[in-house]
Amino acid sequence: MANIKENRLSAYAVSAFATGLLFGTGLTVSEMVNPEKILSFLDVLGAWDPALIFVMLGALMMTIPGFQWVQRKGQPFFALRFMLPNKTVIDKKLLNGAALFGIGWGLVGLCPGPALTALVTLNTDLIFFVLAVLAGMRLHKVFFD
Amino acid sequence: MLESIIWSLFGGILIGLAATLLFLLNGRIAGISGILSGVFLSAKGDMFWRVAFIIGLLAGGLLAPLVFQREFVFELKAPLPIILLGGVLVGFGTRMGSGCTSGHSVCGIARFSWRSIVATLTFMLTAFLTVAISRHLF
């Protein structure tokens, strides 16, 4: 809690919920929650669907100017400072981890955001997928921490 | 086709807006693999906002089809063993590689982080290869 401004705890929680809502809405209306849609983007040798490129384009249109603008501010609204990753070196862990993630993404067509958002379908296979994601995270913790 | 492009762009804009707002208001990166692992694996004091964000995602999945009159299409066709293997790789890989599509590709690239640019190129490449092999070689 140390990073949150005094008396700003509920504002901090509300903005986390509201941005999650906006994020989940974006994933849903762009159909990124559908694994088949992701796989048809990844399938360059088949009937290729470029949708994900336009989603990324829309997102970066907001985040590139947005993050550059926010970073020039001294402080976030409800917190004392920006929490940023402190690693800057491109190491083997980054490359191997990203490579493994890409294989899993390509096998199923789901990455973490869409997987969580699509839980509203109560699809049993999806619930197994999310449990497997958590197991994979746990496995990493056991190996490396 | 044009309609699909417009929905894609619009959805992307909402995603980018959400990530920018979370950074502006709370000073946090909207990296969903990190938010998820924080809830289940490192029970520190800042658990509540992660849970609030995830409840928000679910609320978005529930409300968006009603608000925008869009059908929630979900087709998960992979067989269960592949789903489990893929899930473990996504969980393990995102921890090892410090992020997924949201943290690296939506937020990291916007910060001009070389790690995120390289991570995005790497997982895109292995995902393309995985689909090429699994759909066209077997």
Is the overall model pTM greater than 0.80, yes or no?
yes
Separation of alpha carbons B81 and B18, rounded Å: 34
ipTM: 0.97
State the nearest Cα–Cα gap between A86 and chain B, in angstroms.
Answer: 11
Which DSSP string do the residues of A56-98 spell out, in sequence order?
Answer: HHHHHHHHHHHHHHHHTSSS-SSBSS----------HHHHHHH
Contact A25 B73 (CB under 8 A): no
Ordered mean pLDDT values, 10 residues apiece, chain A (145 residues): 85 97 98 98 95 98 98 95 93 98 98 98 98 98 88
**Which residue in chain A has the smallest CA separation from B78?**
A108
- Taking the alpha carbons at both ends of chain B, their separation in whole angstroms is 30
* Neighbouring C-alpha atoms within 13 Å toward the C-beta of A112: 30
The answer to whether B57 contacts A79, with C-beta atoms less than 8 Å apart, is: no
| B70-109 pLDDT tens trace | 999 999 999 999 999 999 999 999 999 999 999 999 999 9
Contact B58 A120 (CB under 8 A): yes
